[in-house]
Amino acid sequence: MSLIRFTKEIDKYTWEISTEALEGMRVPGIVFGDKELLEKADADNALQQVANVACLPGIVKASLAMPDIHWGYGFPIGGVAATLVEEGVISPGGVGYDISCGVRLIKTNLTQEEAADKLQELVDAINASVPKGLGTKGRLHLERKEMEKMMAKGAAELVARGMGWEEDLEAMEEQGCYPGADPSKVSERAFARGKDQVGTLGSGNHFLEIQVIDEVEPLAEKLGLYEGQLVIMVHSGSRGMGHQICTDYIEIMAASLSKYGYSLPDRQLVCAPVQSREGQDYLAAMACAANFAMCNREALTHWIRECFERVFRTAARNLGMEVLYDISHNLAKQEDHLVDGRRLTLMVHRKGATRAFPGSRPEVAHRYAETGQPVIIPGDMGSHSYVLVGTEEALDKSFGSTCHGAGRTMSRKAAKKQVRGDELKRRLENMGIMVRAAHLAGLAEEAPEAYKDVKAVVEICQGAGLSRKVARMRPLAVLKG
């Protein structure tokens, strides 16, 4: 059902879905975008999902959607919803199957020109060193006790093993360790699926890119970014472990719905009270997956640094290979926010949406106090990616949230029907982009035409005040599973 007739324009970048759109809506829907994006989201049934989310018990302010919105499981991808911790719910569909799927940007002190002669050798070295693809096992083999320790302690455990730098932790959300993790709340099946997957890229839309910064804003210098600089972007998550945790707790919460008397417009929105046993167990398992994902990206960084050292015959520290930031776009977090003049403790669900806090928030590391927290936004493999920073305005408008990428316009199945992997590879190489893909069919699924224009998405986020542009990157090499 189209919801356009229940939607009104608030300003150039903001649209409101009335509570009259669907019986049971407790708050309105707010979509950040333009008219064209709104109409596409309506046709995709994503606006219906925004309205559905607005029915969740304990939701406050609005059911929000970022400009990269598209249809997802329960929540739209690009969806943000905050529920009261005391009276509200936690919904696994508001986090997604790839818990803590996220993006990391690694800086270098190399320019594109300085690295040009060694770029192909570097790409081949990384391609050989980084495991990628569906179900791939990694190079790091952990016993059960070691996995539990890593899931409880996060990236600091890998750093203690010599796979990372101490200063990496300050450049990660939660300093690399999501609080409240309890491995006893993770099923045996999830352990089995995650075994040996730390340090693996995965498949689907996950990737590793070597990029060059081709456009900067004044804030770039404060983050150590400059035009012509070579950087590396890593996009990966919690692999099979996170997927299984989501599956497990959707089943658990579905079985408990009647106990709590919840009536939902979509069964995919299964949920439980935040303070309930089911809710607390899910949050403890989700934290394990988040720590797993951050360890995954830390291990990948370790392999990447090793490859740079071999190819350039110098230490990674000499090459300036610092982590700019590591941020997730599939998590629920307990945060305090002002809503209608009252400070509330909320469970903020971000699914395909990125936390974008200003430097004034206590969660933001001191090194970003002046700039605001960095936000890493990947585009499609044939265009650009961006570094943004969070804003004070976003706290008021979106619980400090912004987009997570370009957002799909075409399903993977549809993309494979329209695009041949070998032809896409040639097209990208003709654009000067090296491609290493485990499977050409998987490459076709992620064709540039399957995504929105990331520039337009980022411009809307900046126009709406959700984040500010800092730098733009274009790909030189793409590695995919």
Higher pLDDT, 377 or 134: 377
Give pLDDT, residue 159.
97
Give pLDDT, residue 236.
96
pLDDT band at 139 (very low <50, low <70, confident <90, very high): confident
Mean pLDDT score, 11-34: 97
Give pLDDT, residue 133.
72
In a domain, residue 40? The reply is: yes
In a domain, residue 158? The reply is: no
**CB proximity list for 245: less than 8 A, separation 6 or greater:** 99, 186, 187, 190, 238, 282, 285, 286, 288, 289
Give pLDDT, residue 137.
74
Number of domains in the chain: 1
In a domain, residue 41? The reply is: yes
- 217, with CB counted inside 10 A (0-12, 13-18, 19+), is middle
List the domain range (segments joined by +) for residue 12.
4-96+334-353
In a domain, residue 226? The reply is: no
Give pLDDT, residue 131.
84
pLDDT band at 439 (very low <50, low <70, confident <90, very high): confident
Mean pLDDT score, 383-397: 97
In a domain, residue 418? The reply is: no
In a domain, residue 453? The reply is: no
For residue 439, indicate whether it is catalytic.
no
In a domain, residue 30? The reply is: yes
Mean pLDDT score, 469-477: 98
Q: Which of 199-208, 371-380, 446-455 has the highest mean pLDDT?
A: 371-380
Mean pLDDT score, 353-359: 98
Choose the catalytic residue: 329, 384, 404, 439: 404
The pLDDT tens digits for 229-264 are 999 999 999 999 999 999 999 999 999 999 999 999
410, pLDDT greater than 90: no
Give pLDDT, residue 412.
86
In a domain, residue 51? The reply is: yes
265, pLDDT greater than 80: yes
The pLDDT tens digits for 153-185 are 999 999 999 999 999 999 999 999 999 999 999
